[in-house]
Chains A and B, each alone.
Chain A
Amino acid sequence: MATKGEELKAIREKVLQMGPERHRKRVKEQGKLLCRERLQMLLDPDPVIEDYLLANCLEEELAADGVVTVLGKINGRDVAVMANDFTVKAGSWGERTVEKIVRLQETAMKLRIPIIYLVDSAGIRITDQIFVFPGRRHAGRIFHLQALMSGMIPQICVLCGPSAAGGAYMPTFCDIIIMVDKIGSMYLGSPRLAEVTIGEKVSLEEMGGSRMHCSVSGLGDVFVETEEEALQMVKDYLSYFPQHCFEKPPVYEPAEPEKPIDDIEKVIPENQNVPFDMYEVIWRIIDKGSWFEMKKLWAQEVITGFARLNGKPIGIIANQPKVKGGVLFVDSADKACRFIRLCDAFNIPLLYLCDVPGFMIGSKVEREGILRHGAKMLYAVSEATVPKVSVIVRKAYGAGLYAMCGPSHEPDACLALPTAMVAVMGPEAAVNAVYYNKIMELKDPKEQMKFRMEKQEEYKKDVDIYKLAANLIVEDMVEPHELRKELIKRFLFYENKPRELRYPKRHGVMQV
């Protein structure tokens, strides 16, 4: 006869097998990992603590009630992890599932450690709804706690399955959503619901697939092909982050940039109107092997990513002149705003690389609320109190200067490369605006052109970058090949800047 100890062991082992064989097989057929395999890949082998393994253990086929909640380590750092088990009722949320998630969240807050959600769930178990949906410690509390935790501890979501209906809010409250191609999805209403309710016929991929969210809705931050890649991304992402908002981010071994900075002048054309690839500047500044890009496939006219500068994490916001001329649109403003707030919440210094003709104009974008979205970005730039340096790589026109943390927005330093041009607007537009009547009087196109050119040259002289430096507008001008060295030096001076709350208030009222 089995001893009491053996009996417990047998029950635990059964739970560790997860849901019934047929469901495990189905998950494998879908090309997905089992939830415990995911955890194994993500976490250091030891130590791991799993609470409530025995949740619902008196029921058949409800192993751990469909969610695994553990404390473990990633590269030696404590983390809390929730993993939905799709082999148990399609990872749906029952009464104990929800309570387990809530308790894990409370633990993560108490211990001030990052929380990771490996999401693969069909949503609430409708049959159990009064025990899951409406109450004080029910599903709503998961989102409530997520909102409270936001900016306190890193919250990371991997979508390695569906995240449906109300449950789809779980990823949205995270700092980052990593989506796996073909298997990850999130949507408020499923295609089936859409067909029945509003008559729309649409595929799951179009409705809420990984590629759609990472390139169209802008909700997905990182698009990956496989689950293995996704879990590696979690580790990479965490390498830029502290455990919580009162800590500094971790420091790594410094590395030289991937490309030599000596030829940086070659990649930045002097003619303000000729596009170039801003990545070529980034690869010449940051430590080799240290790039983690957020929302890479969305609003590509602005680049947002984490990097290391001499071993220390920074967040880079860079205009990309190669895409839409680097003009800021509603989506790019949103993208930058969110990234700036993420960095500011977790003490990650900000580096702005500016080459911006301004915010887009025209009836299309006005109707989309370009002012509202632009204000959001400007708000985040003002709000951030981490060390911040802006580099005017080339043009900084109009409100673009402010949006890229120009002098008025309290950067610790605003630096200019010799190619910099700071002005309310570019010379062509300015001459047109000031001399429109005069140009029209001239009639002869050749005369007009000659006049324009003269006035543009005058204008360029008036906003000459040396004139701005002479008037203390920028802290310094930097020889391009000295840029990395200069940034390293400056961030060292600024890194211990105290970050008290600046003005006593609850919170501002940001445009959204």
Chain B
Amino acid sequence: MAEVACPMAGVVAEVKVQPGDSIEPGQELLILESMKMMIPFQSETNGVVKEVKVNVGDFVNEGDVVLIVE
């Protein structure tokens, strides 16, 4: 099980995966609104999403855990 941390601070604009989804490197996990831009945040690993820890509208800081992946 691995924790996926947010790469930069911002507000969650869209969550593109849900528990049970298989993910692969390069796949968009969520869209972050930050620095007045919509910044996609891509997966670096393979796995299955176990838990999504954030909701749309949440502020997340760099390093905060956003997903749990198996």
Contact = CB atoms under 8 A, between A and B. Distances in A.
Interface in A271-293: 272-275
A324 B62 CA distance: 11
A329 B34 CA distance: 13
A360 to B, nearest CB: 7
Contacts of A360: 8-9, 35
B9 A364 contact: yes
**What is the size category of the interface that chain A forms with chain B?**
20 to 34
A325 B37 CA distance: 7
B36 A425 contact: yes
Contacts of A357: 35-37
Contacts of B39: 275, 324-325
A332 to B, nearest CB: 11
Given A360-B9, A364-B9, A327 B62 contact: no
B9 A358 contact: no
A362 B9 contact: yes
Contacts of A509: none
Contacts of B36: 273, 357, 425-426, 428-429
Q: Which of A272, A273, A361, A429 has the most CB of B within 10 A?
A: A273
Nearest to B32: A325
Contacts of B7: 324
A486 B37 CA distance: 31
B63 to A, nearest CB: 8
B68 interface: no
A425 B37 CA distance: 12
B17 interface: no
B4 to A, nearest CB: 15
Given A325-B34, A327-B8, A358-B35, A364 B40 contact: no
Interface in B7-57: 7-9, 34-40
A329 B8 CA distance: 9
B39 to A, nearest CB: 4
B14 to A, nearest CB: 14
Q: Which of B36, B40, B61, B63 has the most CB of A within 10 A?
A: B36
B61 A361 contact: no
Contacts of B9: 360, 362, 364-365
B35 A361 contact: yes
A364 B7 CA distance: 12
Nearest to A300: B7
A360 B1 CA distance: 30
A319 to B, nearest CB: 12
A325 B39 CA distance: 6
Interface in A73-123: none
Given A360-B8, A360-B9, A362-B9, A325 B35 contact: yes
30 contacts: A273-B37, A273-B38, A274-B38, A275-B37, A275-B39, A275-B40, A324-B7, A324-B8, A324-B39, A325-B8, A325-B35, A325-B37, A327-B8, A327-B35, A329-B8, A357-B35, A357-B36, A358-B35, A360-B9, A361-B35, A362-B9, A362-B62, A363-B61, A364-B61, A364-B63, A365-B9, A365-B62, A425-B36, A426-B36, A428-B36
The 3 closest A-B CB pairs, nearest first, are A325-B39, A362-B9, A428-B36
Given A325-B34, A364-B61, 6 more contacts: A275-B39, A325-B35, A357-B37, A358-B35, A360-B35, A364-B62
